[in-house]
Structure 1
Amino acid sequence: MLTMVAAAAENNALGKENDLVWHLPDDFKRFKKITSGHHIIMGRKTFESFPKLLPNRTHIILTRKKDYQPENTIVVNSLEEALKSTGNDEKIFIIGGGEIYKLAIEKADKIELTRVHGTFEADTFFPEVDPEKWQISSEEFHPKDERHEYSFTYITYERRK
């Protein structure tokens, strides 16, 4: 199963200058729980935004850069190559950025979206989720609190058959 995991604002903003524009600790915990033990596919800029490798995950980096090979990662030049390099992993995750989500949305089976309630200035955006192709299978709202400056909703979309 190919799942896209993202946190996007109401205007589909993902980030600015290769960084998130909000800090949601519970969303980070959920991301870790969902993706641990599996292959995560990302673009080079997303990979470079991490301070270090994310533990207990196989990092697959999609880039056009030749001779790009960070330690302990798989580097590929196409989404097809990325998907082939996952072996027999039954849960594969696309984790960004914007260009990679655009490539993957036609191939994905599921979207785990954290909808951040607000609009933000950004330079990277999540693609529109077409209700003709996707249906919501679950939603869970979280109000803002002392640890979360913004309210947000976890939304699980599944591709319509």
Structure 2
Amino acid sequence: MEYKSLTFNEIKQKLVNYCVYQDRCHYEVEQKMREFLLIDEAKEEIMLYLLKENYLNEERFTRSYIRGKFYIKHWGRNKIKMNLKQKQVPEKLINSCFDEIDENDYTKTIKKIYEDYFSKQKGLKEYQKKSKTMRYLISKGFEYEKINDIFE
């Protein structure tokens, strides 16, 4: 597809659709804009429009991202935070949005993942199964202290 032939309004509409389809962060929209040959003023105008019309809302994006990655993908806070930072979401915003995760759900999820993974470890000594399961939970982004507290 030849993007050059699109008018400013067509490009603007494409970016509106991009934001409507799924919540986006500023970084993703800026990346998407690179596909179109826009001057900085045009990029800025589109960005302001998306913000003003609430198509682009970094807090809403962060909240839905946190909910999705925890409740659907079962990621821990560390992995979620790292991925949001890669999307250049400010740390202060990330931390203020973690209330999207219910503390009881968080604990239950760690226990469930622990039990599921632990029970699949065959032919290992108890302490090996435990340390392998701990490593797995840490790789999913759960905090070591949190995992440890639950299994003390």
**Range into which the TM-score falls when normalised by the shorter chain:** under 0.3
Instruction: Give the TM-score of the pair, scaled to structure 2.
Output: 0.27
Instruction: Give the TM-score of the pair, scaled to structure 1.
Output: 0.26
Larger of the two Rg values belongs to structure:
2
Give the number of the structure whose residues are more often strand, by fraction.
1
